[in-house]
Amino acid sequence: MIVAGIESDSLEALRATEILRGVAEATLKAIAAVAVRKKLEEGETLYAVGDPVRSAYVVAAGRLRFILGGDGRPAARGTVIPAGDILGWAALLGDQPRRIATVIALEDCRLLEIEGEALLGVLERDPHAGYLVMQRLARMITQSFLEQSALLKGAT
Amino acid sequence: MRPQGLFRGPAARIFRMSDRQDIVVSAPRPMPRRAALVEARSKLASASFHAEPHEPLLYAALRAGVAVPYECATGTCGTCKARRLAGVTVGDWGEAPGKAFLRADRDEVLLCQTRALSEASFEIPGSVNLASIDRVRPYFGRATVSRIDVLTPDMLELIIELDPPLDFDAGQFAVLRAPHITGYRGYSMVNHPGRAKQATFVVKRKPDGALTDWLFSRARPGDPIEWFGPLGRAIFTPQEQRTIVCIGGGSGIASIISILEIGCSSRHFEHFEAAVFFGIRTGADAFYLDRLERFAQAFPKTLTVTVALSHDEPRPDLSQRYPGLKFESGFPHEIAARDLAGRFAGRVAYLAGPPVLVDVGIRMLITQGRLPVRDIRYDRFS
C-alpha cells in the first residue's frame, strides 16, 4: 500500500522503532520519504569496521549481529539487534567518519536505510522530534558507557 | 544429553523414554560407532569431512582442513552457527551462551556443541570460503598434568606433558578437557611456540566452573587431560617484521608471554619495538613479573612493559624490585592510548583478556590509534 508516495510498511517500521516513539506522524512520514528500503540475506554484512559512516538503519524485520571491532572474518562475539532497533547511529553524530563495528544479518532482514544528513535535516524542521531522538541517543550512549565501565571494573 | 543405546534399522519406532530423550529402536543391531560423513555448504563453497561420534563437528571440520568460522570453539560466541539440512545429531551443552544467536525453528545449531550420529549436511551462513589457510591444522592429543602452581588466589599455572607434541604459533590457544568433566575450555599457550612436548597455561578460577574447580582443588600430577589445538588466528611471527603493541588483562597475558618468548629468542626486538600493557586489579594480583622483567631487561631500548593497576596505586617496592617495568594506575588500554599517542602507525596490535577489555581496546585502537582493522588481532574465547 502506498500512502502519498510513501510505502506504508516503511511508516509502520518507523512507528515501531523505539528511538522514534512519540514523534509526530508528519515527521515520521518525512523520515519515511527519505528512507530507502533494503533487504539483507542471512550472513550478509551490512557494514564493516572501517567503512565510511553515511546512514543509520531501522530494523523492520529480522535480527542482526553487532560485532565491535572485527578483522574482516565473520567471527567474533557480538550483540543481537532485533526488529524495532536502530543501528549505525554514528551517522547522526557527525564526528565519526568510520565504522567501529561490523554488522551481519543473523537471518534474512528488512531494513530502512536513512542517510544521516537527511535524517538530521528532518529533525531540524521538528525540534521536538529532534529533542526526543537526541535525548534517547544520549541515553543509549551513556548506558553503553556505564555498562562498559561496570564490566571493566570487574574484569581484570 | 547424550543418547545411550541407539539402534537403527528398518521399521524404526520411537519410544519416548523420558521428557528429554527419544531413543529410536528397531532390530537389536547396534549402530556402528564409526565416523559419519558430514557436508558443509556455504554460498561460496562446499566441503565434506568425517566426524567421529565423540567429536564436536567444528573440531572434525577444522581437523580435516574445512575452515568453518569459529572464535571461541567452546559454545560461548555463536560464531560456528550452522543450519542442519539433514542427518541425526546430538547437542552437548543445552545452555551454551552462543545459542542466543540461533533460531531453533530453523534447525540452527552450534557446530562446536553438536555431534553427528549419521551422515549429515549443514549450511554455513554467508559467503564463507571453506578452504583452510592454517599453517597447522588442529588435532587431538592426550596429556598428563605435570605441575600446578598457584600464581594468585584466583589464578594458577598449569603445565601438562603432551602426547603428541603440540605445534603452535605464538598467540594461539588450545581447548582442554578433563575426562570426567563435560566440555572443552579454551586457554592460550604461555610457552615458546613451536613443536612443544610441554604446554603451560594460565587458568583463572571461574565461579561454578567445573574444570577450574577441579584444577584448583583436586587435580594432581599424572592426571589425564585431553586437548584439541592449535586454534586461533591472533598470531605473531617474527617473519612479519613489524613493530607491535600488546594489551592484555589478567590471564590474557598468557599469549603475550608466548609472543615475547619468540620475539626475544629470535632477536626480533633488536630491530622492532614492542610496547606491552598488562592489566591487573591490584598489586596483590600480580604474577609473571619476573618473566616480564627478564624480557624488558633483555631489550631495554625497544621493549617496554607497563603494568596497569586498575584498582590500586603502585607501591614503590614494585618499581624497586622490578626496575625494568613501569607501574601505573589505570586501565591498560587507556595508558596505551596516552603513551603511544601519535605512535600507533605501523604497529600490529594484539589484544587478550576479558571480552570487555578486548572491546574497549579495539575501540581505542580504531578511533585513537587509527590502526587499520587488519592490524588488530585478538581471539575472544573467555
Each residue's pLDDT tens digit, B115-166: 999 999 999 988 888 998 889 999 999 999 999 999 999 999 999 999 999 9
Specify whether the CB–CB gap between B57 and B51 falls below 8 A.
yes
| pLDDT tier, A146 (very low <50, low <70, confident <90, very high otherwise) | confident
CATH superfamily of B139-231: Translation factors (2.40.30.10)
pLDDT tens-digit series, residues B51-84:
999 999 999 999 999 999 998 999 988 889 999 9
pLDDT tens-digit series, residues B360-373:
898 899 888 989 88
pLDDT tens-digit series, residues B161-171:
999 999 999 99
Cβ contacts of A42 on chain B, cutoff 8 Å: 125-126
Cβ contacts of A72 on chain B, cutoff 8 Å: 373-374
CB distance from B352 to chain A under 8 Å? no
Closest CB to B71 among A72, A77, A80 = A77
At residue B18, the pLDDT reads 34
Give domain status of residue A155, yes or no: no
**Which residues in chain B (145-204) have CB-CB distances under 8 A to chain A?**
none
Distance in angstroms (rounded) separating the CA atoms of residues B53 and B72: 21
Reply yes or no on whether the pLDDT at B22 is more than 50: no
| pLDDT tier, A105 (very low <50, low <70, confident <90, very high otherwise) | very high
**Which residues in chain B (233-252) have CB-CB distances under 8 A to chain A?**
233, 249-250
Architecture of domain B32-123 in CATH? Roll (3.10)
Reply yes or no on whether the pLDDT at B11 is more than 60: no
Window from B28-42, B213-227, B347-361 with minimum mean pLDDT? B28-42
Average pLDDT over every residue of A7-13: 85
Reply yes or no on whether the pLDDT at B48 is more than 60: yes
Cβ contacts of A80 on chain B, cutoff 8 Å: 100-101
pLDDT tens-digit series, residues A120-133:
999 999 999 999 99
Average pLDDT over every residue of A143-154: 75
Architecture of domain B238-378 in CATH? 3-Layer(aba) Sandwich (3.40)
Quote the distance between the C-alpha of residue B91 and its chain's center.
21
Reply yes or no on whether the pLDDT at B353 is more than 50: yes
At residue B33, the pLDDT reads 65
| pLDDT tier, B9 (very low <50, low <70, confident <90, very high otherwise) | very low
At residue B34, the pLDDT reads 83
- Residues B126, A69: C-beta atoms closer than 8 Å: no
- Residues A153, B106: C-beta atoms closer than 8 Å: no
Specify whether the CB–CB gap between B70 and B80 falls below 8 A.
yes
- Residues A71, B380: C-beta atoms closer than 8 Å: no
Distance in angstroms (rounded) separating the CA atoms of residues B221 and B210: 18
| pLDDT tier, B305 (very low <50, low <70, confident <90, very high otherwise) | very high
- Residues B363, A68: C-beta atoms closer than 8 Å: yes
CB distance from B107 to chain A under 8 Å? no
Mean pLDDT (chain A, rounded)? 85
Average pLDDT over every residue of B233-242: 95
Quote the distance between the C-alpha of residue B317 and its chain's center.
35
Cβ contacts of B126 on chain A, cutoff 8 Å: 42-45, 74, 104
Please name the residue ranges forming H helices in B248-348: 253-265, 289-298, 316-321, 332-339
Residue A114 makes CB contacts below 8 A (sequence gap 6+) with A31, A34, A35, A36, A55, A56, A57, A58, A91
CB distance from A82 to chain B under 8 Å? no
Closest CB to A74 among B128, B372, B373 = B128
Same CATH fold assignment for domains B139-231 and B238-378: no
Q: Domain segments of chain B: what residues? A: 32-123, 139-231, 238-378
Q: Which three cell numbers stand for residue B203?
A: 587458568
Chain A residue with minimum CA distance to B128: A74
Distance in angstroms (rounded) separating the CA atoms of residues B315 and B322: 11
Reply yes or no on whether the pLDDT at B15 is more than 60: no
Mean pLDDT (chain B, rounded)? 89
pLDDT tens-digit series, residues A65-87:
888 765 444 434 457 889 999 98
Q: What percent of chain B has pLDDT over 70?
A: 91
**Which residues in chain A (97-126) have CB-CB distances under 8 A to chain B?**
98, 100, 104, 106-107
**Which residues in chain A (9-68) have CB-CB distances under 8 A to chain B?**
42-45, 48-50, 65, 68
CB distance from B8 to chain A under 8 Å? no
CA distance A27 to chain B (A): 33
Reply yes or no on whether the pLDDT at B356 is more than 80: yes
Average pLDDT over every residue of A102-118: 93
Give me the CATH number covering residue A20. 2.60.120.10
Average pLDDT over every residue of A2-10: 65
Element (H, E) at B158: strand B155-168
At residue A67, the pLDDT reads 81
Specify whether the CB–CB gap between B339 and B276 falls below 8 A.
no
At residue B76, the pLDDT reads 87
Give domain status of residue A69, yes or no: yes
- With 0-12 CB in 10 A as exposed, 13-18 as middle and 19+ as buried, what is B132? middle
Residue B333 makes CB contacts below 8 A (sequence gap 6+) with B247, B277, B357, B360, B361, B364
pTM above 0.90, yes or no: no
| pLDDT tier, A94 (very low <50, low <70, confident <90, very high otherwise) | confident
Reply yes or no on whether the pLDDT at B174 is more than 90: yes
Average pLDDT over every residue of B219-233: 96
Reply yes or no on whether the pLDDT at B31 is more than 60: no
Number of domains in chain A: 1
Cβ contacts of B100 on chain A, cutoff 8 Å: 80
Q: Which domain holds residue A43?
A: 2-150
Reply yes or no on whether the pLDDT at B196 is more than 60: yes
Distance in angstroms (rounded) separating the CA atoms of residues A63 and A42: 9
Average pLDDT over every residue of B241-262: 96
At residue A39, the pLDDT reads 95
Reply yes or no on whether the pLDDT at B95 is more than 70: yes
Average pLDDT over every residue of B168-195: 95
Cβ contacts of B202 on chain A, cutoff 8 Å: none
Residue B183 makes CB contacts below 8 A (sequence gap 6+) with B74, B75, B92, B93, B177
- Residues A156, B353: C-beta atoms closer than 8 Å: yes
Give domain status of residue A92, yes or no: yes
Cβ contacts of A107 on chain B, cutoff 8 Å: 103, 106
Give domain status of residue A66, yes or no: yes
